[in-house]
Amino acid sequence: MDKFTVFTAVAAPLIRPNIDTDAIIPSREMRTVSKQGLAGGLFAGWRYREIGSREPAPEFVLNQPAYAGAGILLAGDNFGCGSSREHAVWALREFGIRAVLAPSFAPIFHANCVRNGVLPAELPVAPIAALSAVVEADPVRHVVTIDLEAQEVCAPGAGPFRFAIDAESREMLLGGLDAIELTLKRQPAIDDFLSRDKRERPWIYLT
């Protein structure tokens, strides 16, 4: 997986609370058993004039020319709530979004981001508003820079602000690490647990 270290990109403000994974990618846009081909369905309900069409809705932020190539989303509270569908993160990533800044994230979405090299950075409402104000004045020139090592985000005239991310997720993103590989290194501990647990709770182990 790609490492996430320092990232600079156009940032798009989409500041509404409770943006759910149905909004990020509607179920109707998940048409094959694949992690690819999902970017076209990203925010489909808001991005296109009507359901089923691909005609851009001009007012939607990601359709505005100034936000072309956006790589960062500035968002509201409880971002990514709802369905566990990892397709939401796959669609964001394929579209080019590498980081979401929000006051809080839904837990499953947060984990899905980290598994796919997308940074979920927690930042309070006020600094997000400050970044948005600067960005909206000139989205193309006022790009946002995120430094994960330093846990800071800034834009010309705003910040730097320190954002929050748990140590585990930070490490995984910085190193581009694969969780399964890391876990398999713990095999002796897993084996010890299983041999003990099979004696203590035999009914758990089906044959």
Partner 1 sequence: MAYSPDSQTGADAARVADGTLFDRIWRQHVIAESGRGASLLAVDRIFLHERTGSIALKSLSDRGRTVLDPARVFCTMDHIVDTMPGRGDQTRVPGGSEFITATRAATRAAGIRLFDVGDPDQGIVHVIAPELGITLPGATVVCPDSHTCTQGALGAFGWGIGSTDAEHALATGTLWAHRPRALLVRCDGHLGPGVSAKDLCLALISRYGAAGGRGHAVEYAGSAVTALDIEGRLTLCNMATEFAAMTALIGPDDQTYEYLATRPFAPHAAAWDRAVNHWRTLRSAPDAVFDREISIDATAVEPMVTWGTSPEHAVAVTGRVPEPPSGASREAHQRALSYMGVVPGTPLAELRIDGAFIGSCTNSRLSDLRRAARLVDGRHVAAGVRAICVPGSSAVKRAAEAEGLDRMFRGAGFEWRESGCSMCFYAGGESFGHRERVVSSTNRNFESRQGPETRTHIASPETVAASAIAGRIADVREFFA
Please give the structure tokens belonging to residue 77: 């509270």
179 contacts partner 1 (rule: CB under 8 A): yes
The crossing angle, in degrees rounded to 10, of helices 167-175 and 107-115 is: 30
Interface pick for partner 1 out of 3, 5, 18, 162 (rule CB under 8 A): 18
Q: For residue 11, with 0-12 CB atoms within 10 Å meaning exposed, 13-18 middle and 19 or more buried, which class applies?
A: buried
Sites for partner 1 among residues 77-96 (CB under 8 A): 77-78, 81-86, 89
Of 9, 5, 4, which is closest to residue 155 (Cα–Cα)? 9
Compare residues 18 and 141 and give the one whose CB is closer to partner 1. 18
Q: Pick from 14, 70, 104, 131 the residue near partner 1 by CB under 8 A.
A: 104
Q: How far apart are CA 207 and CA 193, in angstroms?
A: 18
Binding residue for partner 1, selected from 40, 76, 96, 156, defined by CB under 8 A? 76
Among 56, 69, 107, 176, interactor with partner 1 by CB under 8 A: 107
| Integer Cα distance of 100 and 84 in angstroms | 17
CA distances from 88 to 24, 53, 154 (A): 6, 19, 26
Q: Which is nearer to partner 1, 17 or 96 (CB)?
A: 17
Total of residues contacting partner 1 (CB under 8 A): 60
Closest CB to partner 1 among 58 and 180?
Answer: 180
Give bridge partners of residue 62 from the DSSP assignment: none
Query: Minimum distance from CB of 151 to partner 1 (Å)?
Result: 14
Scan residues 50-69 and list those touching partner 1 (CB under 8 A): 50-52
Tokens representing residue 88 in the block: 């939401």
What does the radius of gyration of the chain's CA atoms come to, in whole angstroms? Answer: 19
- Binding residues for partner 1, per CB under 8 A? 16-18, 20, 22-23, 26-35, 45, 50-52, 76-78, 81-86, 89, 104, 106-108, 111-112, 115-116, 125, 166-168, 171, 179-180, 183-184, 186, 189-190, 193-194, 197, 201-207
